[in-house]
Amino acid sequence: MPDYNHPKDLIKAAKDFPDIDFLVYHSGLKTTSTVDEVFAKTGEIPWTTEFCRMKQAQSGIKNIYMELGSTFAQLVTTYPAVCAHLLGQIIDAFGVDHVLWGTDSIWYGTPQWQIEAFRRFQIPDQLIERHRYQPLTRQVKERIFGLNAALVFGVDAKVQRNELPQDVLGKLRMSYLEEGPEPSCKAYGWVVG
């Protein structure tokens, strides 16, 4: 029942509970299966465009975050123009500080290809000029990649970034780093000659 999945209820919930942060998975996208057909006819991205308009009408709401999830992965590979519009719309409606990186890598395996795609992805200049979208600068991408989520989850990115865990793996890593770039040439286990 699609109505139970539409993000429209989040506007009221966010107003009723301003101390709770709401993370909208997949940026509220209904589906990618017909997104190109709908976009070609209407210029809208099913559910996401509507939700962005609803948020813009309620500018005081600051506790809704748009998470990219598999939406970016699916759109960047099949409908890059729609992907550019989606990113432009959610950044415009919610603010660059309210867009979160996500990959759904449980379905896609390693997210490295998505990370590389997002690093290289740009909203075309003609779309920026026509729709007044914000360009995807390095700083914008850094926020989306993790700095925004760090704020949501109360992580001081500067403090945590260089901290090494004190578990066994962390101690092994520290030992490795202390030995330097040259291999130790130590042999462990069975050696067959």
For 157, the 3-state DSSP assignment is helix
Alpha-helix residue ranges (DSSP H) falling in the chain: 9-16, 35-42, 48-56, 69-78, 80-94, 105-108, 112-120, 125-131, 138-142, 148-152, 157-161, 168-179
Distances (CA, A) of 2 to 5, 28, 30, 51, 181: 5, 12, 8, 14, 55
What CA–CA distance (Å, rounded) separates 71 from 52?
A: 15
Please give the CATH topology (third level) of the domain spanning 2-160: TIM Barrel (3.20.20)
Query: pTM for this one?
Result: 0.82
Residue pLDDT, tens place only, 128-160: 999 999 999 999 999 999 999 999 999 888 886
Residue pLDDT, tens place only, 52-81: 999 999 989 999 999 999 999 999 999 999
